[in-house]
Structure 1
């Protein structure tokens, strides 16, 4: 900001000088001006534009007072500067800032140059600078303008466009693109698109390419940038075997684990890194196995050349399979043949010549490690030439090993090795195998012995046995205890715990679970003291090789968690209003059971429905059996009692004999029983109804399905009685027709003529109406488990049919409708005892009144009455 102010003040000062010159004295001091010069666009700093001289007056003692200065206020004049050349000679040069651009700047720039000498003379003249166009090189745009672009191409990709180069020409000319070297499998179009011309193979083609992309304008000016193209490897090649050998020979009687061959393969996709391949034997073979990671083929079964089938066919063919992915990828197969030899025509040879063995620490002295004779043979035909000895045991740690004899070649332990004390893990030995006969051919056998740590100690539990006390109401998933074991081996082995025996019930294989790593024992199902008081478990601790077990006893502690279960838990019955106080109602008794409570611990009380306390239980406590007793009489006449149906809700608890301490640990459990009691008025009680209308209420006792003989006898007797009455009625009707012809009424109907007596009798016309009970409730019988329906007002019940509607269609008045109710609806507990008389099993109440009015269409005749018999389903 400060520089801008100074420049502004300088410009104003020069402008004032210029105005003074114009208005004052002006002398020709600038020689060589005015002048017109040309400068190419984008000229660098210091390019000469023009030279001129300043002529000073002889009277001027010091020459120039104000040096030649460009006084234009246009910022473009900053692109030029005046430099002294000596002896009052000056030159105008470019500053390079701003850069002269033919396309964006004026084509002609007038520079006004002012000068003043010491006598006060001034001069002002103009230098016209013309900018000429210069053909510039094309310029790359985008990422290529600032950096080297790297492009990645997957091998196997078909020829396609992989990148687009963008460049621009300042003169807006059409550009062309080319690339070098031309031998690369790439091409560039005139549009700048770079294409691949082949499908790359990472394994055979170069992994990267450097392309020089050149963009050229029509005048031949160009610019070049480098593009780096990298070929990305993909898994598109199948592995191939590098093992050239296809036939292997081994001697018979090789011990299991003997290395037969080291099959190797390579994946072309893994050129820059070790191949990770997976080996397997496709053909089934009982003699050999192959290490899936290393390809080492080993003996797994005994090979006996003298036994069948090797006696006839000593050649064993195997198909070795290699793939580059464990989940399926590119594969290759190789067929190898293993020949089992029992002869040797060569110098003593050991196959393999390098042995690796692992020996457990603390292996006792005298233990054989390697029988070299089993691996070395002389296949000479002459027995005198196939004998050889083993000598020259040497190498690091050879003092711990020795050959049993030169004949046997058996490598033995001479000292026990303790890995923790000696600290040496690998011993390298050499043994020379040499012919006994001349010329004493020999071979060197290399033996590498690795000392392997031994799991010497069994896990030890901190207790010889464990005992856990667990309340039976413990939540499922809760931890009930913990076992712990230690391992003295070093490094310590990881111990895992498991339940190997015990802990099962009838419903669960095992209701306990143990944490494999921590030893916490948890329950998987609810414990039940009433079923099992103790559980015996066997817990095993394992360090991977050795195991130890410990017994665990789980004591289930009793808790009052069972509710009293009473039978029956629902009961419905009827009692007469005149029942005597103290009577055991209908002989009803309740019997309760509780699996975790004493039979003397029950207490009974009626919680709901006992209006005016008419009912009580005896005994009310101290027994699992109690009877329902009528405690007080019913009083309906005074209005004290108004309910004819009592629904009692009885609570049965199991805590009345427990102490305060026991109640704290054994919470109270409560069972419920529901009783429905219907009070029946006395048969002699007359309920006043409409005058002249007689209501006969008939109540019949129904019997349970188990008392089949009762309804059978009643039905048979009823049929016989109906037959007899029908026969008598037929005789009476015949007699009346012959003796008393019917009188005609006004409407033409016949009328029975009643013989006159001193006191006229009432003729009784009986109309039978059988009401169909409406069953509006359902319940389940606690004894049979069957569903039954009941009427909430009358208490009538019947067994429910699966395809029957809850509300049957009511019968019409005056029509004898057939009821489906057949007596099966009574609980077994309601079945009448054998001691009850037939009169108590069937009660009838007859209430007779005179009819108030005759029905429509009938004449009013004295002495006639109408009796309606209502049969209920109760």
Structure 2
């Protein structure tokens, strides 16, 4: 029935002469409405030509329908016989669908001959059964009616006839207390009583059309019970007894009740406990009372009052209820073992504790919390543990632990254990004989029975006097017979001091090692005796220690004077005792005959010797050879002699292989004075020239140079720092304008002008004016060059105090320039080239400043107006 196949068939019909293959078509047929699937509507045959085979290429097919429908199909009946049948989808409905359908049937044989004919099918009307609509059309309707409801309409039946005929309603069985009217309304005919009447009714509703066709549906009517009576308990028992510590969920009681409205149906009743006791719960549907929490008879309040009262309520769905009081008695059981607090005991006993001494009474610390006296009795058994043979229980009832033997740590047969771990079982007498273990730790304390004993009653140590401070000189040792051995502490209790030192010896508190804290001196003390003590914290013991100090040559010669300065003339005679100088030396541990004198440093050309050079504590300084500066042999005018004085330790050095030599030191400074020179002095007021012979040798030419250069650098640095300070003060300290106050009289300043000869040794051209100017390369002074003009000296300005201030200084300062050193002249020259500062606004100009300014103006005019030409 596709569109493409129809187009192809139409094309074949118009190409040539039409072939008659479908026999019996076109034709007209009828079918009843609402026919089921597979109903035969019309039969036809297919005729084949002799040239064709005995089969068709395309079976007869409905290629189109007008109007369009899928309610028909073609079915083969065998061979070349076919039938048009109904499909059942959609169902043919005369009232809602078209009344006629034109079906185009197409067929094609094996030689491609085709045929297309039309079958017209007319739908005929059929009288149908009435139908129910609404809920009754799809299910059985259930209606609920409350008991006690008066007669009224309870349901409306909805039915219709396909032919729109008037319908008639009927109800069966006729004995039910219900009726149905012509409109389809169902009414109740009585007031229902749930307890007396049936609880459910089944009604058959029949609807019939005028032709007698009918349809029937069933309606269920349930009577709803109204709760008008309260439930009541049927259980007679009110007292229950259970043991304590029952498991959760254990059933205690079964409370049953009845509700007249529910006909003994327990599902409509609800049970609850009204008290706040959480140890019990009740099943809300069955009324079974169960254990919901721990019930401990031995704890308060059950320990005093073992009865538990509960109020059980039963309630129906309407809220009508009844209550019942029940009592649960809790019985005690032996469910607690005896307990001890503490469960572990720590006791101490001395090693010499006598047998029978009580260590601990266990019964004072143990109890059983079960309430029933038959359940709280217990006993002590099973004393065990290493060393338990030293201990015992007096009886199983008392629980008193006592010593049975004395423990002595010093006894070799004793195991030497300080802590004994014992266990005792505390057990119920009643079944099931619960028990606990008690741990007892007994510490046996050693007793200090013996005092420490030194290995020697006295100790003697020999120590050299040069032994370093902190060195060990010996060790004392003591032992203790106690077991375990006590810690022995050593200390010095007497002696060990001198006049200069409180403690000259120290002993290690733990090792007994004796050390020195100060330098030993044989010359002061040859023997030290002190007492040491060994203590085990309780019992002390003492011993004597003697320290013999061994003599060593540790003292160096001490000479007086140890430093001296001498001056001798250059032509001093050889063999002369220089200035009568002599040194005297002392040595605490050496004989004066052991002294030897050596000049170790500074004795150039061996000009000096000491006499005697050995064997005396006094020696003189002698000139051994003359000085020779003229030939250049001697160049040094100052001699720094370092003299060493040694001792040979002839007195103390008994063992020559180990004798020591000590050295003292004396420093002498000897200045050689050259022959004096003459000096010539000029007339007073003129320059005085003094001629002196240069005392420096040619090899020391750098000495005056370095001194002069250092002085110049130091002066320059000081001047630069002063200039920086003045600049900073002028920048950061502006003058303050204060209120007018009484001015102090100013000092007069006398300005004197001094002509200094300036040599202009250079020339240059001014780049601005093009004129030639002369300048001094050292001072920087400049002037315009004039032809045939003699050299003019530059002005130097010097500010002098007035005569009123110091009249005696004017002449000295006027004569100062002729006596100044070259460096001072350079300072004056630099100050002369600086322009004079003009007075600031608001300040008066002193006479000296005015004169200086006029003089500068005059000089500038003489120089031709050159103020600051650029070089």
Normalising by structure 1, report the TM-score: 0.31
Higher relative contact order (CA 8 A, sep 6+): 1
Normalising by structure 2, report the TM-score: 0.31
